Amino acid sequence: MNGNTVTQTSGYFLAGLIGAPVYSESGRQSGRIVDFTLSLRNNWPCFDQAIIFDFNSASEKIAARASFSSFSPEKFVLSTSIHDLPAYIAKPEQPVASELWDKSVIDTVNVRTVQVNDLEVVTDETGEIWVSGIDISLRGAMRRLGLEKWFGPLLNRLGYVLQPDTIAWDKIIGFNDHFSALTTEITSDNFQNLHPADLAEILEELEDSERISIIETLDEDVAAETIAEADSETQLQIIEQLDTETASEIIEEMDPDEAADLLQDMDQDRAREILDHMDLDEASDVRKLLEHDEYTAGGIMTTEYAAIYEDFTVANAFSHMRLVAADIEIIYYMYVLDNNDRLKGVVSIRDLLSANPSMPVSEIMDDDIVSVKPETPQEEVATILNKYDYMAIPVVNDQQQILGVVTVDDVMDVIEEEATEDIFKLAGTSDEELTYSSPLQACRARLPWLLITLATGFVSSTIMKFFMNEFKEVMALVFFIPVVMAMGGNTGIQSSTLVIRGLALNTFASGDMFKRLLREIAAGAMMGLACGLVVGIWAEYLITSGEAAPGTFSAIYLALTVGLAMMGAMTFAALFGAVVPIIFDRFKIDPAVASGPFVTSSNDIFALLIYYGVSALLLSMA
């Protein structure tokens, strides 16, 4: 060991040393390596003692480095009798190497949290064994489990080479002298210059106590930005565990809208306690935002914006901007007010830069203002911002006085939330399930829709019973029930998904709705015709190649029945899948609920009824 580097002579892994034979000086194997105790020397871990399983006494012994004449991965040779070694007694202050397995550490080079799968060790010229790095690869995990020698060659033959992935010890942080993983020994120097988004990603992967250790090392403004970048669950867990004074100081540094969102999700007693400890002006801004519904423009707006009066000159506007720029969230626009603080227009920084400094801002401002009310739903705000390509949109009251602005980054969060919510609804569950740790909670979230699907299954089975009784002499028709049901369900899902997406993006004009339905009917009919033709040909082949068709009906006639039934089922499914979301939307019910299990199970029933009706009609005409 020299300074903070290791002069490497050969490399090994801990998993390969555990189980290694231990010899006496006479050359007889007297035990095997169980583990090693660790000590930290100049910030590098060293194997200072070996834990040995004694074959004779069938017990674990502890052997110091001085007890070995050869203490190296190549060969462990005891210079003293194994019988004279003391028994090993585990002590909290005496960590062992295998305790580092599976611990989380932070890779400061790639800015990530990784898990220790194995320890890479090296020997120096004196024979000391040092930990040189951690192995985070799949290969390391397989080595520990003893699977590398079995599956490694097999994977190599298949062209999948298990690549090593090790991180040098000096590139990771998180261990103190007792190797107890991410602790308060971490200093702010490790994190202060990292991007808050990278820090937030690290926090989301750590245990609660480890998160607090990192947050407490950061400056308040960096801590605030980092928490704001984290997911809501991580935010709540951190703030709940911080003392009230620290939590209030961090929340003061957050943008008011982000602080309001966080406090709104917290226990209200705890939120009030934090607000009472905050600066009066900061707390006042947050309280104003908390008055609005969480999912409206008022709930997602920020009160930090740049405003000037209409009698300002361009030079005055720039002077004002210099005063407020450090305290506002967005400086792309400056909102122009009259003497009664009513919103009169907006001017962009680009317009100010290109204007004469002595020119009044009223001459260059855009007075064709698009604004929203505080009660405007957040989805509508997102649509407006997307439509006009604005970076922000003002929120005004009935007197046209500006209350705040909704910025594009807030809208991006809204879009992500809404998309996530709709995806879960398509599957018949909710996004809250991401936070569930109990299988019982997951069951409660999913079971209602599954029970509804089961109920429709009862209806389908009843219809099938009548179908089979009615056509027991034409059993060939029963073969194609699953195909007709499946194709109807899939067609309905395609149609409903397209309509739901159009409704979400507000791309459907009221006059186009009828045309949209006609298009879905036509598309369903054409797809049904194509699939019906294919299934009809297949039906004719199956029927003629077996003994399922009685002499009363020809195979071609039965195939025609199957083909027409599928065409009818798919055409109706396309119409049904398009109509139901529109109806739900008209009654202010989330259209996403209309898709997934609802459309699929309903189309199964209608597909069976159509198949039954077409079959009965055509066979009665034969």
Tokens representing residue 597 in the block: 């299990």
Per the DSSP assignment, residues forming a β-bridge with 423 are: none
Q: Which CATH superfamily is domain 10-170 in?
A: PRC-barrel domain (2.30.30.240)
Alpha-carbon distance of 24 to 481, in angstroms, equals 77
Maximum alpha-carbon separation in the chain: 102
Q: Is the pLDDT of residue 176 over 60?
A: no
Select from 3.10.580.10, 3.40.50.1580, 3.40.190.80, 3.40.50.300 the CATH code of 307-422: 3.10.580.10
pLDDT at 547: 52
Lowest mean pLDDT among 61-75, 86-100, 140-154, 359-373: 140-154
> In the structure, what pLDDT confidence band is assigned to residue 6 with cuts at 50, 70 and 90?
very low
Where residue 114 falls among pLDDT bands split at 50, 70, 90? Answer: confident
Amino acid at 272: R
592 band by pLDDT with thresholds 50, 70 and 90: low
The CATH class that applies to domain 186-291 reads: mainly alpha
- Strand 166-168 relative to strand 129-135: parallel, antiparallel, unpaired? antiparallel
Which position has the higher pLDDT, 34 or 472? 34
35 phi/psi in degrees, rounded to 5: -175, 180
Domain boundaries along the sequence of the chain: 10-170, 186-291, 307-422, 439-621
428 — alpha (psi -120 to 50), left (phi > 0) or beta? left
Supply the pTM of this predicted model.
0.58
Supply the pLDDT for residue 373: 96
In Å, what is the CA distance from 354 to each residue of 331, 350, 357, 364, 392?
Answer: 16, 6, 9, 10, 21
The helix or strand, by DSSP H or E, that contains position 175, with its residue range, turns out to be: none
- Beta-strand ranges (E) seen in 178-314 are 307-309
Return the SS3 of 101.
coil
Mean pLDDT score, 223-241: 89
- Residue 597 confidence (pLDDT): 66
Tokens describing residue 366: 């855009």
CA atoms within 13 A on the CB side of 162: 19
Whether residue 556 contacts residue 539, with contact meaning beta carbons closer than 8 Å, is answered with: no
pLDDT of residue 435: 56
Q: What average pLDDT does the structure give for the chain?
A: 82
Confidence of residue 525 (pLDDT cuts 50, 70, 90): confident
How does residue 190 score in pLDDT terms, banded at 50, 70 and 90?
Answer: low
Strand pairing of 333-337 and 343-348?
antiparallel
What is the average per-residue pLDDT within 6-21? Answer: 74
Q: How much is the average pLDDT of 482-489?
A: 85
Mean pLDDT for 138-155 is 79
Element (H, E) at 242: none
CATH assignment of 439-621?
1.10.357.20
Short-list 350, 367, 263, 269, CA closest to 314: 350
pLDDT of 423: 65
Per-residue pLDDT, averaged over 402-412, amounts to: 88
pLDDT of 423-473, one tens digit each? 666 555 555 655 555 677 667 766 776 787 788 778 888 887 877 777 776
Our CA angle for 168, 174, 179, nearest 5°, is 90
- Mean pLDDT across the stretch 596-613? 79
Q: Using 50, 70 and 90 to split pLDDT, how confident is the model at 185?
A: very low
Instruction: Report the pLDDT value the prediction gives residue 3, as an integer from 0 to 100.
Output: 45
Q: Which amino acid is at 126?
A: T
